[in-house]
Amino acid sequence: MFENLFSKGGLSLERLRGFMSMAEAGSISKAAPGDATRQSQISRQIRELEEFFQTELTKRRGKTLTLSPAGQRLKVLIHEQLQDLEDFRKEQEGRPKSYIIGAGASVLEWLVTPALPAISQLLGGAILRTEAHRSRSLAEAVQDGRVDLAVIRQNAVPAGKNHALVLKMRFLLCIPRRLLRPGTTEPEAKKPALWQTLPFAAGRDGGQTDTAVRAAMQDAGVDFQPRFECGSMLQVRQLVALGACAGVLPSLGARGLSAEETLILPFTPLKDYGRALVLHWNERQMRRRGQEVDVLKKVAAQLARSA
Amino acid sequence: MFENLFSKGGLSLERLRGFMSMAEAGSISKAAPGDATRQSQISRQIRELEEFFQTELTKRRGKTLTLSPAGQRLKVLIHEQLQDLEDFRKEQEGRPKSYIIGAGASVLEWLVTPALPAISQLLGGAILRTEAHRSRSLAEAVQDGRVDLAVIRQNAVPAGKNHALVLKMRFLLCIPRRLLRPGTTEPEAKKPALWQTLPFAAGRDGGQTDTAVRAAMQDAGVDFQPRFECGSMLQVRQLVALGACAGVLPSLGARGLSAEETLILPFTPLKDYGRALVLHWNERQMRRRGQEVDVLKKVAAQLARSA
DNA sequence: TTCAAACATGACTCTGAAGTCAGGTATCTT
DNA sequence: AAGATACCTGACTTCAGAGTCATGTTTGAA
């Protein structure tokens, strides 16, 4: 039974561990920063696995190594196997499993984090670890098992893959009242001509959300030159809350802003934005890890309620 | 990354191998027959895994051990993992994967074995290993991954599990011409009254097929007392081919019998038997091992053509 | 051209687990 | 009750691989 895996030495869990540390860090030197001893050990272990599997697991790219296609497949395979062993062990010890849940930084902060206790409960008391990444990166990480659940834009989910609706994104125009002339009415505030006169904060990295906001402003006839360009919507909101400038925020991000200090209106140019946030998962992985589709749909429903 | 699998010693591939050898053999002494040294090694390795996983993997039953529920789950898990490593390795070495295909002994002989070359081709040049077992045992083995494909009775397949029709079982009454009075016509041969006068071979082990044949004879008014009781339909066919007695054979088993020497008629009491043979597989396992459902349906179609 | 960084390799020591031997314990058969 | 079988455990030796140290090679930056 699988005698040829054992008949010849060369395969060991420690070697797989060494390989995985390089695979997940991205390079040997990142896997063992400043540790020449550990670096030489990992290098040797990778070579020994290449000999055992009769294939190259890495390829040299300049000074550093990257994974070959075979190395990429082995990484996914061994990640799964180690995950299953860890799950089995935790089950036997009566301890909860760990899951990784990812979202964009602002969605993580405003939507996911508040829901973590309820999500943990739905997942049998699971330990949840959050990771902030872009939607596309998260979609990829879900496909190859590095992230279990992701709250991402629906259009980042690969065609035909599992997801459940969390919410439709809505945008709100948030204007510190202090920036408006006394007596300005809501109808007046809804006019793009007025917006032209306000300082704005916006995103800077050209993500889909930021691009959509800028395009909408353009379409509304506003020469949109934000005063502040921020790394994330978290920072945009902070500046708005401070009264420093106006901003267009997702509805999630506007919660908690003082209505006394900030005028909050639907951002009508993006009324029909239509983008949705969904909970995305890899069905094969979640089934293997003991979570059925109906539970995951409940997780999505819980996130929707938190919105 | 999975540091707690490694932070404490105790988990090694050799130990898992020792555990699997006991799990698959059914006991330590069967895993290491007559080898007291190896037997003591396996015993120790199982203990060390139990310490690592903090659970009992075996329980004592009289003198011997059996697997605990946790041991059973670990067996399935590790079997899968070793299978995947072996598949990966073979892929990298450019060698074909191995699959196990099971059927009852006679189905194996008459249906599966002739189709093996074509099946291998459909499965990418796979190495095929056959195993003969009862339908129920095979269904169970498919569920926990020990057998990849099984040709079994449709009613042995668990509800809702994957299968594709191979054939409807038909039965043929096979009468050596030498046992008939000269001038006996086919209409005469179809009469149960005549059957009463013939010696028969039948199965002995009370399987579903055998039971159905005996019941049908009874219903036809025949006091069915077979002269020979055989371990399998293979032997029944041999006796018929020798001209020693009549028998009721599945249509598969009648092929190659000489029409000159053997009168072959549909066995009308079981005309509406309705039982089907199907190809049964575990979708999760076959997908993991790189074979999609449409390929497996082609395998079933190939077997149907061989019939 | 020189230097730094990333990785590779030779050579060595250390060690956890494999492997072995001997004998003990519990269960079952005779 | 005695003997055989299945498994367990103590104690020991062996060894494959881990771990370490030192230095080499290749690539890229300065």
Tens of pLDDT along B232-277?
888 899 999 999 999 999 888 888 888 899 999 999 888 877 788 9
Phi (first) and psi of residue B208, to 5 degrees: -60, -40
Q: How confident is the model at residue B101 (pLDDT cuts 50, 70, 90)?
A: very high
A271 to chain B, any CB pair closer than 8 A? The answer is no
Reference A83, options A151, A10, A5, A147; nearest CA is A147
Instruction: Check whether residue B39 has its CB closer than 7 Å to nucleic acid strand D.
Output: yes
Summarize the confidence of residues B21-32 as an average pLDDT.
93
Residue A39 CA and nucleotide C15 C1' are separated, in Å, by 20
Highest mean pLDDT among B192-196, B214-218, B291-295: B291-295
Tell me what pLDDT residue B211 has: 85
Q: Which candidate in B81, B84, B95, B127 is best for mutational testing of the A interface (most A CBs within 10 A)?
A: B81
Structurally, at CATH architecture level, domain B96-167+275-306 sits in 3-Layer(aba) Sandwich (3.40)
- The better pLDDT of the pair A84, A183 is held by A84
Find the radius of gyration of the CA atoms of chain B.
Answer: 24
Query: Looking at the predicted structure, is the pLDDT value of residue B53 above 90?
Result: yes
Asked if A77 and B55 come within 8 Å (Cβ–Cβ), the reply is no
Q: A139: burial class by Cβ within 10 Å (0-12, 13-18, 19+)? A: buried
Q: How confident is the model at residue B212 (pLDDT cuts 50, 70, 90)?
A: confident
- Locate the domains of chain A by residue range: 3-76, 96-167+275-306, 171-270
Residue B129, classed as helix, strand or coil, is strand
> A116 Cβ partners below 8 Å, 6+ apart?
A101, A128, A130
Tell me how far the alpha carbon of residue B137 is from its chain's centroid: 7
Contact status of B14 with chain A (Cβ, < 8 Å): yes
Check: CB of residue A166 under 8 Å from CB of residue A307. Answer: yes
Interface touch A13/B11, C-beta < 8 Å:
yes
Assess whether pLDDT exceeds 90 at residue A175. yes
Q: Which two tokens stand for residue A128?
A: 């949840």
The whole-angstrom separation of Cα A57 and Cα A72 is 8
Of A53, A89, A287, the CB nearest to B89: A53
pLDDT reported for residue A172: 92
Residue B6 pLDDT exceeds 90: no
Rounded CA-CA distance A48/B90 in Å is: 17
Q: Closest CA to C6 C1' — which residue?
A: A63
Chain C: nucleotides below 7 Å from protein CB are 5-10, 16-23, 26-28
| Interface with chain B: mutation pick from A3, A4, A5, A42, highest number of B CBs within 10 Å | A5
Nucleotide nearest to B35 (CA to C1'): C20
What single-letter amino acid sits at A52?
Answer: F
- HSE value, Cβ hemisphere, 13 Å, CA-based, for B94: 2
Q: Rounded to whole angstroms, what are the CA distances from B101 to A196, A298, B77, B131?
A: 73, 40, 20, 6
| DSSP E strands, chain B | 58-61, 64-67, 98-103, 127-132, 149-153, 163-168, 171-176, 200-203, 228-230, 246-250, 262-266, 276-281
Burial class (CB in 10 A: 0-12, 13-18, 19+), A135: buried
- The yes/no answer to whether this complex scores an ipTM above 0.90 is no
Q: Do domains B3-76 and B96-167+275-306 have the same CATH topology?
A: no
pLDDT of residue B147: 95
Local confidence band at B9 (pLDDT 50, 70, 90 cut-offs): confident
Percent of chain A topping pLDDT 90 = 62
**Which whole number is the average pLDDT over B183-207?**
87
The verdict on domain A3-76 having CATH code 1.10.10.10 is yes
**A77 at B interface, C-beta within 8 A:** yes
Question: What value does the mean pLDDT take over residues A45-53?
Answer: 94
Q: Which residue has the higher pLDDT, B149 or B271?
A: B149
The verdict on a CB contact (< 8 Å) between B92 and A4 is no
Per-residue confidence band for A112, with pLDDT thresholds at 50, 70 and 90: very high
Separation between Cα atoms, residue A289 and residue A298, nearest integer Å = 17
Q: Are A106 and A112 in contact (CB under 8 A)?
A: no
Q: What is the pLDDT of residue A19?
A: 96
The beta strand positions in A116-204, using DSSP E, are 127-132, 149-153, 163-168, 171-176, 200-203
With CA atoms as reference, the chain A residue closest to B72 would be: A88
| Residue A274 CB coordination number (10 Å) | 10
Topology at the third CATH level for domain A171-270:
D-Maltodextrin-Binding Protein; domain 2 (3.40.190)
Mean pLDDT score, B285-289 = 93
Q: What is the pLDDT, as a whole number, of residue A307?
A: 72
